Structure 1
């Protein structure tokens, strides 16, 4: 009743998932910095998320952790699990999972993935997700996860329809206050859940991303920024001070930099000022 991708890209781990199931993000995904990421689905056993990550943190391999957890589970043939660690990736589909059910996994260097789904329209879903993942190298992990999920959704996804989606990703020093959370987003009940998740990912990047495409606040650009800030009613002893005050008001402080102004901050300031 669900399709998901669990992945590692460098030091980042994450999961993206969609389903015809209420609040799938509360059940399926988990990830831990420096340890791994997991998805439990198809009669999901929620405790598996912590059990498997604890096993990886304790030094077990992906293969051993998954085999031991499933061996002790009387409903293992009905379950589906994706697990990625610092080394290794596995996608496990029990023999009694509801059709169509299956998965794919791969690893190359410091990049790995496990893709799985059940009650899907067919194997084209996981194949489309794999292709999207493999062709998105170089993008931030949340973008790669989202791209794979959208590809699976476009290929047919859950054959019962759409209801919820989620994305959770971690990386050392990332996110608001450097808490390590790259993205923690859920769409609990929406007729186009994957697309709504894409909208939230865009907002998450805006509000919690770091500076990018920075331009120095000099000359014509400094004059424009000062005019825009005056227009929105924010004052300061300098253009940089006024910009800092405005960015704090609109929750863009993670994109502030003493080197100048971030491209997306400038775009938002222009939009706010109606320019």
Structure 2
């Protein structure tokens, strides 16, 4: 009931996740990243805490594969979980339990890993990694969205999706990009693309407001000179 792409930009060191699912508010549970550390997606019957644990392990110096192995070993209910991760070396890793729903598969490529469950086809993750790597010069957010859109074009889930999310970490402890469509009856991935297109021209201004408000433009609202 979920498909995602987790990736890294080798040029900038950014990490991120793009994801969509049939249930509400996927962005609150499934995509996770940490500046200078990596990115993780946790899905199927989701335990969001697992992502933080994997990121903690990677921050402690373990590779993505080592981190996932350490977190999944002998963990209760782990057979209901699906995890993906990418680390600072661009190494990717994944875990898929034995109780994952429907058609499920994973595909790893350069600096990215895509995974899904309850898919319309086992070919969806491979299409997503191809979409991600189609333009390596693009902003990571664009590349992640391209991967997600390629997954939709390849058939996506077996049923309709209703929420989607996009996160990107750069150098700050907060997300550079954190966009969500919590519920949409028709096409949350298309709405997510529209949100990114609206946000991208303002992204640096919002970052400047956090780093140095004197360098940021006014908000352009009443009472703000």
- TM-score normalised according to structure 2 size: 0.86
Which residue in 2 is equivalent to 1:57?
Answer: 59
Unaligned runs of 5+ in 2: 206-214
Is the contact between residue 91 and residue 104 of structure 1 (CA under 8 Å) also seen in structure 2? Answer: no
Residues 113-192 of structure 1: pairs in structure 2 closer than 5 A: 113-172=112-171, 181-191=175-185, 192=187
Is residue 2 from structure 1 mapped to residue 2 from structure 2 by the alignment? yes
For the residues of structure 2 that align with 1:141 and 1:77, how far apart are their CA atoms? 31
The within-5 A match list for 1:88-99 is: 88-99=91-102
Q: Which has the higher helix share?
A: 1
Aligned CA-pair RMSD: 1.9
What is the rounded CA distance, in whole Å, between the counterparts of 2:35 and 2:18 in structure 1? Answer: 16
Matched, 1:30 2:24: no
SS of 1:157 mapped into structure 2: coil
Larger Rg: 1
- Once residues 49 and 58 of structure 2 are traced to their aligned partners in structure 1, the CA distance between those partners, rounded to angstroms, is 15
Partner of 2:80: 78
Kept in 2, the 8 Å contact 1:104–1:115? The answer is yes
CA distance, structure 2, for counterparts of residue 102 and residue 137 of structure 1 = 24
Provide the C-alpha distance between the structure 1 equivalents of 2:59 and 2:146, rounded to a whole number of angstroms.
29
Q: Is the 8 A contact 2:68 2:94 kept in 1?
A: no
Please tell me whether residue 199 in structure 1 is matched to residue 194 in structure 2: yes
2:66 alignment partner, SS class = helix
What is the CA distance between 1:249 and its match in structure 2? 4.3
Tell me what 1:225 maps to: none
How many Å separate the matches in 2 of 1:52 and 1:83?
8
Higher relative contact order (CA 8 A, sep 6+): 2
Shift of 1:133: 1.2
Query: Counterpart of 1:272?
Result: none
Aligned counterpart, 2:43: 41
User: 2:142 aligns to what SS in structure 1?
Assistant: helix
Show CA shifts across 1:12-33 (max 9, x none).
0000000001100000011000
2:8–2:16 Cα contact (<8 Å) kept: yes
Q: Please, what TM-score do these two structures have when normalized by structure 1?
A: 0.71
CA displacement 1:124-177 (0-9 Å, x = unmatched): 21121111112121100000000100111122111121110000101126xxxx
Query: Which ranges in structure 1 are unaligned for 5 or more consecutive residues?
Result: 174-178, 211-243, 252-275
Give deviations 1:195-247, integer Å, cap 9, x for gaps. 1000000011022147xxxxxxxxxxxxxxxxxxxxxxxxxxxxxxxxx99x6
Deviation (angstroms), 1:94: 1.9
- Decide whether the 8 Å contact of 2:2 with 2:20 is kept in 1: yes
* Cα 1:45/1:180, change in 2 over 3 Å: closer
Shift of 1:46: 1.0
